[in-house]
């Protein structure tokens, strides 16, 4: 008998994470995700949720969810291809396709399930996937599930992408397909992918373009339609527009939009979609209501941008560096991990909830407080937040 301990690694690995202070310490939100909320028993100003437009607590979304439970029950009963495809799921896809001005849309259980289930079906053996070095983990996992060759280009670097594509043309035998994939808005820095240039380069090489617009939807483009609308690109430029209902839409669920062929292919091939139970009615109805709110209440996107401009300028004028931020994701650069953690704790003491982003999520010397702006923050909220950043920045000798 081997003297192997089959589960010893569980405790020892965890201990290692705790000792290195790399373990996640879960905070508890007691009540809805609103800008003034209760976290770990403390009334705080929320400065780090992805609920950009505050739709998670919008009366229309809540009413739609409650109604759907009454009319359709608590669960869907199955995966969609068997017995769990309700009229509500079909309605959401119709509404989303209309919102995105696409031929068709497909809703997945999560954005993670969309990326990990679809990417390996779009490119496989004999193909090439070309990916931005800072793409989201769900894209990385999707790529890992594929037998395609991989090439990574420097973050948002169009010249490097050109070089990677030129090298790909030299491959023997010639690649059957090339898939270029990028986040639309990068979640650590809040910068926007140069999707117009990416699409142009891809077109020159007959490559397919896939954008993950999780942080661009509800934020960029006409009425928050996302990055494809922001750059005024068409369906022949960007073939797969992927997104999530878990951020600006305020609920949960992933989705893709594009051609009818894409959607027909995707739902027949994505194992995450085929083999996982469908959304409960309350979730789907709330998502439909979120699309509705985006179409009929443009004020939320407007105030999100007004708040973003005000806060980013305010933070910069205090002497902080906000890196490459162009969107409501406003990182406040601190430098060393310990200082960023201390900064976040001091913010919490002053009733501000904003978490530090440290190594290994970002480089060791690029630790930051990642703030995320919200449409429902008031000027008084933002001034209070700026006051706290100034006070702590001075205390820690950062400004």
**Angle made by CA atoms 391, 189, 152, in degrees to the nearest 5:** 155
Provide, rounded to whole angstroms, the least separation between the CB of residue 50 and ligand PMP.
7
Which of residues 185 and 367 has its CB atom nearest to ligand PMP in the complex? 185
Burial class (CB in 10 A: 0-12, 13-18, 19+), 306: middle
Which of residues 105 and 244 has its CB atom nearest to ligand PMP in the complex? 244
Provide, rounded to whole angstroms, the least separation between the CB of residue 113 and ligand PMP.
7
239 is catalytic: no
Q: Helices 158-169 and 195-204 sit at what angle, rounded to 10 degrees?
A: 20
Which of residues 255 and 386 has its CB atom nearest to ligand PMP in the complex? 255
Residues in contact with ligand PMP by the rule CB under 6 A: 110-112, 115, 136, 138, 183, 187, 212, 214-215, 244, 246, 254
The C-alpha atoms of residue 383 and residue 311 are separated, in whole angstroms, by 8
Provide, rounded to whole angstroms, the least separation between the CB of residue 75 and ligand PMP.
19
89 is catalytic: no
The C-alpha atoms of residue 136 and residue 211 are separated, in whole angstroms, by 11
Provide, rounded to whole angstroms, the least separation between the CB of residue 305 and ligand PMP.
20
* Catalytic pick among 58, 136, 247, 255: 247
User: Closest-CB residue for ligand PMP?
Assistant: 111
Tokens describing residue 364: 């060791």
Provide, rounded to whole angstroms, the least separation between the CB of residue 188 and ligand PMP.
10
* Catalytic pick among 215, 230, 279, 366: 215
Which of residues 183 and 381 has its CB atom nearest to ligand PMP in the complex? 183
366 is catalytic: no
Provide, rounded to whole angstroms, the least separation between the CB of residue 243 and ligand PMP.
8
Which of residues 132 and 381 has its CB atom nearest to ligand PMP in the complex? 132
Which of residues 212 and 237 has its CB atom nearest to ligand PMP in the complex? 212
Which of residues 134 and 386 has its CB atom nearest to ligand PMP in the complex? 134
The C-alpha atoms of residue 50 and residue 34 are separated, in whole angstroms, by 11
Name the pairing type of β-strands 352-353 and 42-46: parallel
Whether 122 contacts 263, CB under 8 Å? no
The C-alpha atoms of residue 307 and residue 115 are separated, in whole angstroms, by 31
The C-alpha atoms of residue 35 and residue 42 are separated, in whole angstroms, by 13
Strands (E), 86-212: 104-108, 128-132, 149-153, 178-183, 208-212
* Catalytic pick among 131, 187, 257, 278: 187
Torsion of CA 16, 21, 23, 28, to 10 degrees: 150
Provide, rounded to whole angstroms, the least separation between the CB of residue 287 and ligand PMP.
11
Q: What CA–CA distances, in Å, run from 358 to 317, 331, 336, 366, 369?
A: 24, 12, 8, 7, 9
Please state, as a whole number, how many other Cβ atoms lie within 10 Å of the Cβ of residue 292: 15
**Angle made by CA atoms 301, 304, 309, in degrees to the nearest 5:** 130
Whether 251 contacts 106, CB under 8 Å? no
101: left (phi over 0), alpha (psi -120 to 50) or beta: left
Catalytic residues: 187, 215, 247
């Amino acid at each position: 008998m081997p003297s192997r301990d089959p589960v010893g690694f569980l405790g020892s690995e965890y201990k290692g994470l705790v000792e290195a202070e790399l373990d996640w310490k879960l905070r508890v939100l007691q009540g809805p995700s609103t800008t003034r909320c209760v976290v770990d028993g403390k009334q705080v100003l929320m400065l780090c949720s992805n609920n950009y437009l505050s739709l998670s607590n919008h009366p229309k979304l809540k009413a739609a969810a409650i109604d759907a439970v009454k009319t359709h029950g608590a669960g869907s009963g199955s995966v969609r291809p068997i017995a769990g495809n309700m009229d509500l799921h079909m309605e959401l896809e119709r509404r989303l396709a209309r919102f995105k001005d696409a031929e068709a849309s497909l809703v997945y259980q999560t954005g993670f399930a969309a990326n990990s289930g679809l990417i390996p079906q779009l490119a496989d053996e004999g193909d090439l996937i070309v990916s931005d070095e800072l793409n989201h983990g769900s894209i990385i996992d999707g790529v890992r599930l594929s037998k395609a060759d991989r090439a990574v280009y420097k973050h948002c670097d169009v010249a490097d992408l050109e070089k990677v594509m030129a090298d790909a043309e030299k491959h023997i035998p010639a690649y059957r397909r090339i898939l270029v994939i990028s986040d639309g808005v990068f979640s650590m820095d809040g910068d926007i992918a140069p999707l117009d240039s990416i699409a142009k380069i891809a077109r020159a090489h007959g490559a397919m373009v896939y954008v993950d617009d999780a942080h661009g939807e509800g934020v960029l483009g006409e009425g928050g339609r996302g990055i494809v609308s922001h750059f005024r690109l068409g369906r022949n430029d960007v073939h797969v527009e992927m997104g999530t209902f878990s951020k600006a839409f305020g609920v949960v669920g992933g989705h893709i939009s594009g051609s009818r062929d894409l959607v027909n292919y995707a739902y027949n091939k994505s194992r995450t979609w085929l083999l996982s139970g469908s959304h409960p009615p309350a979730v789907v109805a709330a998502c439909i209501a979120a699309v509705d709110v985006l179409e009929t209440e443009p004020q939320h996107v407007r105030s999100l941008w007004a708040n973003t401009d005000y806060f980013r300028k305010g933070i910069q004028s205090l002497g902080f560096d906000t890196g490459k931020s162009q969107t409501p994701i406003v990182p406040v650069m601190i430098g060393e991990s310990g200082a960023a953690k201390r900064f976040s704790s001091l913010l919490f003491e002053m009733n501000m909830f904003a978490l530090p982003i440290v190594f290994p999520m970002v480089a060791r010397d690029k630790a930051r407080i990642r703030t995320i702006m919200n449409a429902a923050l008031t000027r008084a909220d933002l001034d209070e937040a700026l006051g706290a950043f100034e006070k702590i920045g001075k205390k820690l000798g950062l400004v």
